[in-house]
Structure formats: C-alpha cells, structure tokens
Structure 1
C-alpha cells in the first residue's frame, strides 16, 4: 500500500507561516492558526506525520530544537498560487489536490522534544482564554 497525502498534511501546511527560521511560526502559533482555520486542535500524531512529509516535498523548513516552522520558497509559491482569491477556509479545497499532484509523500521520522506539543497546546489555550476575557473596545467605550 502506497502512502497518500492526508487532509491533516494539508492542514498542517496551511497552518504554517514565515519565510525562514527567523520569522517562522512556533508550534503554539501553528496550533493556533490550525484551530482558527479548522476549528479544532490538531493531534500530535497529525503534526509529526505531516512535518517530515512536507519537509521531504520541499514545502516547509522545520527545526524542532528552536521551535520554528516556515514555508520554503516552493511552499510559499504553492500556497499563494492555490489560495489566491480564497478565504481562510479555502485551504480545505485548494491544498489537498495540490499536495496530491506532487506525487506520493515520503514518510520519515519526526520527533518533538518530550512534552513540547502539550506545552504548545496549553500556551494556545492560555492565549485564547486571554483573548476571550479581554474587554471589547465597545465595552471600554461604554464605560468612558
């Protein structure tokens, strides 16, 4: 049985931003964007399967030790081309077919430092809670 690109691979790819290690996303940022575009928290196994596939395809760079994930030149070009005139949720129809056109994904090992994924999810939960409890500009204006 040959490996196939999955919706999770496309989800992880679509949740990454940046052009290199200096401005790449942290794991918590990847999880946050993933939640924003799919209304769910990706599983660690989804992330750790997608990263080596996307690296092998030349679409992302990744460094678990420095906690940075970014699009390569090829990854940015694919994302920009496929997402043109699509909203945040357009990835679900645009990216999976683009990955399939690349051919069979190449699986490989990808390991995060112990506890890194859980800490990143917790960081996103704390950020989201802070955003949700922050007074809105309207409520601040009403008090003035």
Structure 2
C-alpha cells in the first residue's frame, strides 16, 4: 500500500510538473511574439536614430567640404601672393647685401687710404721736426 501511495504521489508530481511545464511552455509561446515585436520595434527605432545621426554628420561634412572647396581659389591666390612677396623680399635682401658689401669695401679702401695719408703726413711732420731741430741747435 505504501508503494502504491508512493507511486500515486510520484504520478501526481509527474503530472503536476508536466502541467507546470505545459503552462510555462504555452505562456512562453504566447509571450515570445510580443517580446520579439518589442525587440524589433525598439531595434528599428535605434537603427533609425543612428541613420539620422549619420545623415546629419554627412550633411555637415558635405557643407564643410563645399565651404573648403569654395575657399580653395582664394587660398591659392593668397599663396601665390605670399610666394611672390617672399621671392621679391629675398631678391631685395640679396641686392641690399650686395650694395652693403660694396659700400663696406669702399669704406675699407678709404680707411686704408686715410691710414696711408696719415702715415705720410706723420713721416713728413717728423722730417720737418728733425729739420727744425737741426736748425735751432
């Protein structure tokens, strides 16, 4: 009798467990489409927001590229002007340096000439001084 009672409890437990499993499986089958629909809805919403953000970034990039391409001729012209001014400045600097070298050469030549003239005058004054010393002695 005890065995039969155990078998009866076991059969009831098996039946109850299988009933719970059946209820859970049925409720899962009912809830799964709803969950999938929610996942798809929110996933689609997220993907659309990502596409909108990418479209905004793309529009901004396109605007920036157009602005830069419109400014490019001005930049080329400015670069030409700067290069021309730089070349002209370099030429003027070289000409100025050449003129300064020539003038410095002339100043050095005049200084040497003055030094020679001073030496000649000094020699002449010394000669006259000796001659005067001879006369008054």
Taking structure 1 as the reference length, what is the TM-score of the superposition?
0.20
Structure with more strand by fraction: 1
Structure with more helix by fraction: 2
Higher radius of gyration, 1 or 2: 2
Taking structure 2 as the reference length, what is the TM-score of the superposition?
0.21
Which structure would you say has the larger RCO, counting Cα contacts within 8 Å and 6 or more residues apart? 1
